[in-house]
């Protein structure tokens, strides 16, 4: 038996999230499992690093599956891509130890939430950012974000449907970046919230984004942000920002993948 690690990028618009669901055939995991079966003839479990929600995108998610196939590990990427829809792409593949687990071995995840802040929407931004016509103060958003860095109980920033054993998580850094654009171009209307951490609760990044937008409107001060964090009460934070603006950008592992 061999364990294959794959890196995956996808446009999540048409899918009901990463994880397979009995009543929702259109999932990233479901398509990956079907592609593996077509290539190897095996029914195998796909174990993903991050089970992104419906409509959320990924530049670099990761997953493993076990196989008896003798196909060279590095060739699985090209083989799987011939069986996958065009909005799901395996960017690389390689063999790892059988005890390698894509969630337990994570050292850091990087998410970006993009807000297109302008009077008129940009059609090239619609699928990958949240359009907001009300002016946002980036400086206020940055100040409010500072208190979230570090290890905290993030109950206020997690969905009420959270099933994690502990609400404590560590955020390594939060940047609020003004002016990134499509394909490296400069777009003065685009605001990117880049969050790096060891792990996140259900809807945590989207709730942080929604709350920082409230700070950008001036309705939440940095002091109020600290009060929201300390309250451990979901009703105190802002709304959950729409899924379209969120992209999983990078997964870093503790161990060498090969």
- Burial string for 75-94 (b: 16+ CB within 10 Å, else e) reads ebbebbeebbeeebbbeebb
Q: What is the CA radius of gyration of the chain?
A: 19
In the set 43, 53, 180, 233, the catalytic residue is: 53
State which H helix or E strand residue 173 sits in: strand 168-178
Contacts of residue 189, Cβ cutoff 8 Å, sequence gap at least 6: 116, 117, 118, 122
For this structure, is 137 an active site residue?
A: no
Q: Between the CA atoms of 200, 206, 207 and 211, what dihedral angle is there, to the nearest 10 degrees?
A: 130
Cβ atoms of residues 139 and 232 within 8 Å: no
* Residues identified as active-site: 53
């Amino acid at each position: 038996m061999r364990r294959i690690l794959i890196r995956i990028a996808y446009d999540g618009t048409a899918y009901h999230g990463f994880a397979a669901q009995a009543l929702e055939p259109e999932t990233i995991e479901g398509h990956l499992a079907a592609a593996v079966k077509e290539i190897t003839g095996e029914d195998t479990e796909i174990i993903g690093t991050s089970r992104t929600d419906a409509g959320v995108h990924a530049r670099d998610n990761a997953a493993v599956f076990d196989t008896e196939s003798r196909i060279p590990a590095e060739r699985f990427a090209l083989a799987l891509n011939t069986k996958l829809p065009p909005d799901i792409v395996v960017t690389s593949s390689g063999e790892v130890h059988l005890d390698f687990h894509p969630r337990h071995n994570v050292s850091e995840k990087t998410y970006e939430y993009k807000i297109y802040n302008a009077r008129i929407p940009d059609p090239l931004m619609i699928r990958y950012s949240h359009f907001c016509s009300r002016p946002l103060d980036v400086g206020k958003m940055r100040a409010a974000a500072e208190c979230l860095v570090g290890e905290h109980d993030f109950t206020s920033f997690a969905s009420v449907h959270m099933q994690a054993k502990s609400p404590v998580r560590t955020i390594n850094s939060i940047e609020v970046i003004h002016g990134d654009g499509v394909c490296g171009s400069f777009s003065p209307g685009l605001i990117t919230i880049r969050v790096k951490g060891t792990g996140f609760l259900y809807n945590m990044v989207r709730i942080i984004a929604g709350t920082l937008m409230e700070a950008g409107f001036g309705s939440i001060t940095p002091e109020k942000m600290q009060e929201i964090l300390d309250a451990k009460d979901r009703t105190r934070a802002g709304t959950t920002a729409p899924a379209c603006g969120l992209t999983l950008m990078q997964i870093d592992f503790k161990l060498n993948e090969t």
